[in-house]
Structure 1
Amino acid sequence: MVGAGLAGLHTARLLAERDLRVLVVDRRRSLAAGVRTTGIFVRRTLDDFDLPGHLLGPGVRDVLLYPPSRRDPVHLTSDRDEYRVADMPAVYDHARRAAETAGARVLLGVRYTGITTGIAHLDGAEPVRARFVVGADGARSAVARDLGLDVNRRLLVGAEIIHPSGSATTVPAFHCVLDPRVAPGYLGWVIDDGHHVHAGVAGYPSAMRSGVRHLLSAFTSDAPGLTAPAGPTGPAERRGGPIPVGGVLRRLACPSGLLVGDAAGAVSPLTAGGLDPCLRLSELAATVTADYLRTGDDHVLRAYDGNALRSRFRGRLALRRALASVTSPAAAEAAVALLRTRPGRSAAARILFGDRSFPDVPSPSSSPSPSPVR
């Protein structure tokens, strides 16, 4: 298993529980380093997986959608908690302990450098004979390249800052700004759950002429919903990295290995949410991997089919193309104006509060129901 993010660790635990010998390697020396996700879990994930509640912030029910002018936002409110923001370093540590308890070995500070004739080469450890390699190594996966699988080609680049919330009485809210000047092809966001504030931007790097860090600085100078840090000020945590938005890759598996998480493009192409799909796809990946290693039948790998998943969310891929076409402030103002109409508000609510941020994963008949993240 290359990569000790949520997808890698969850898959590793499921495989170890099936009595397979699992080794997880990650080049980071600490799972608290190099966090790239905001850590937003959506309601569907909260409903379907037993997540560690003490590592999740308060529920967020309010979403505000702003045009470039920042005036007259579309305010949507759900009657349920739609989002909760996690303490991701602690979630990773929790997932690591669960994987190790199940029997997996986790080695940090070890970099995967390639695989030849069943031997995985590692920088920081001895080579390992590997019957099967699972790539959970991010949007620009080296495992995908080495195994001849598909690679992500449509990428956003994002950056954000995190600091303590300025007010314990803040009503948790998710502020989204459609402004191609600071987030070309995507959004700027501020999510404040009363504990921490996450403020970030993402967009197509080819359109970010001044760079994502400069655009983040410009956005946070007047971002809506951004409160001042609580208590003594110090260096804010910074995160960032590539976000695949081309949809699940078509060729995800071969007799030598498969891909999960961002490496597989398992991210909603519209909302760029990756934590829900990484858990769902990991369930299928673990079942297919275990069945394949038990039987040696290449046909088992056909159940891990990216084409089947892509066919289930053509609409979101079309909306991704539409969002990418909003390239001027005037167009963004017009788009938000449409969302103020009754049909527009209904469509926005379905996207933001619906149950299909990622398509249902088609499981083989032998697949168990989703396992808890303990």
Structure 2
Amino acid sequence: MSQVSATTPEVADTPAGIAQPLGAGVITALVGFTSSFAVVLGGLRAVGASPAQAASGLLVLCFTQGVGILLLSFRYRIPITLAWSTPGAALLASTGLVVGGWPGAVAAFALTGVLFVITGLWQRLGSLVAAIPVPIAQAMLAGVLLPLCLAPVQALRTSPAVVVPVVLVWLVLQRFAPKWAVLVAFATAAVGTGIDIVVNDKNLVLAEMVPTVEWTAPQWHWQAIIGIAVPLYIVTMASQNIPGVTVMRSFDFDVPWRPAMLVTGIGTVLGAAAGGHAINLAAISAALAAGPAAGPEPKRRWIAAATAGATYLVLGLASAALVTLIAAAPAGTIETVAGLALLATLAAALTGALSDPAHRIAALVTFLVAASGTTAFGIGGAFWALVAGLIVRRFLPSGT
């Protein structure tokens, strides 16, 4: 007697079969949002955004990536998920103010989106990015991340009463439930902030918790374009888009490259004026919607991606409230959450940067220049780090 497999359409169509991808989709969005929204807000504020403009940026990022996920997952019936560029946000945090201020940064965001579109239409550009040695690209990212990952240590001096519980909770969850470590750490920070607000009688303005879109007219400055747009494009391609394709292939899904680049590029351009820095293919969180956790039937996992897209639209409504909470938090609290969220990324970047002896010295130079935050001619350290690494790699003989 034949039995119906657990992966057949008959079972997949049952409420239980639908519940699994739906639940996985919600978790995908929650993990993606809570693990790095503090990094995004920190990056936008660093390049000149006001609290309202940073909240607007977070809102539009949620909206553009949510709509993009829905379009791609429904059209191709595969679990394609998008995300904001967390490494890109970390890059912004290390870059700081550029020539032209916030309007100059907005122009750089828009140009980054244009580069994504060109990458989808012109394969040669994508090949050029892929030709950058991976260790050098990873070293640039590691150098950008290092100052942010030092934040928890520095915050122990300024706000120990709040920061110590956050770090301890994160450490315990890393041991027993690493997927939830950052989420629970943020919840702990929120509780600590709430207590601090009550104890110190801080006033929160409810009107500031309503999400709004703050438009900014871009101003074009070549220093901002070279200092933000170029490294933002490279780090997003190398750390998000290309790995995102690899992660999907590991689950036997082929990402439609051109449509994906067009959707993320156009979404980035449209969101730039409202403060969104970049959206891209998800890499780490992609596994949550594309893997077995989203259901035993691969053909139904697109439902998880679509659910994640819809969830992002809802999460965007919390952007203004989060910014208001962060503004009231003790010094270093949110920076601690962001730094803890980026530790795994830093470890992976350092491993990728130093694992190949043929590129080790060039990668080390790249890392040091990026970590130094050196600025010259109004251009941030990430760009100069890439230039320095490529020059050293060209000059030194292979294997040095």
Q: TM-score, normalised by structure 1?
A: 0.25
By percentage of residues, which structure has more helix?
Answer: 2
Structure with more contact order per residue of length (Cα contacts < 8 Å, sep ≥ 6)? 2
Q: TM-score, normalised by structure 2?
A: 0.24
